[in-house]
Structure 1
Amino acid sequence: MTNEILNKPVLDVEDIQKFLGIGRRQAYLLANSNEFHTVRVGKRIKIGRDVFLNWLNGNGEQQ
């Protein structure tokens, strides 16, 4: 499962949820927290894989 997620160039909130092992509400709170860059496509939230991994590893820029 983790490899499938990391092979995707763009992640959904559901991918973040599964990768971190957190609840849906927590994943949406994180995506809306401005901790890392997100893109809204309609009602969907998209996160670049590299942006997310940089944030997770402490290398990302905070907004």
Structure 2
Amino acid sequence: MDKKKIKDYPSVLSVSDIQEILGIGRRQAYELVNSGKFHVARAGRRIMVSKSVFLAWLKGSTS
């Protein structure tokens, strides 16, 4: 199975998208989004992260 490319992900990532991109487990993905390392939006129980914010964090950029 081919690995999904970053450009193929939606502009707003879910926790499962982040888990898939980083190749980490579900628990680690939730720990990361709850760590305060980057801005997350919450809608009820859903946690969403802007892809541009996530990629900036991944590249080591700070705002």
**Same topology, TM > 0.5:** yes
User: Any unmatched runs of 5+ in structure 1?
Assistant: none
User: Any unmatched runs of 5+ in structure 2?
Assistant: none
Give runs of aligned pairs for residues 18-57 of structure 1, distance below 5 A: 18-57=20-59
Aligned residues: 59
Secondary structure in 1 matching 2:17: helix
TM-score when normalising by structure 1: 0.87
4+ long deviations beyond 4 Å: none
Q: What is the percent sequence identity of the aligned residues?
A: 51
TM-score when normalising by structure 2: 0.87
CA-based RMSD of the aligned residues comes to 1.0
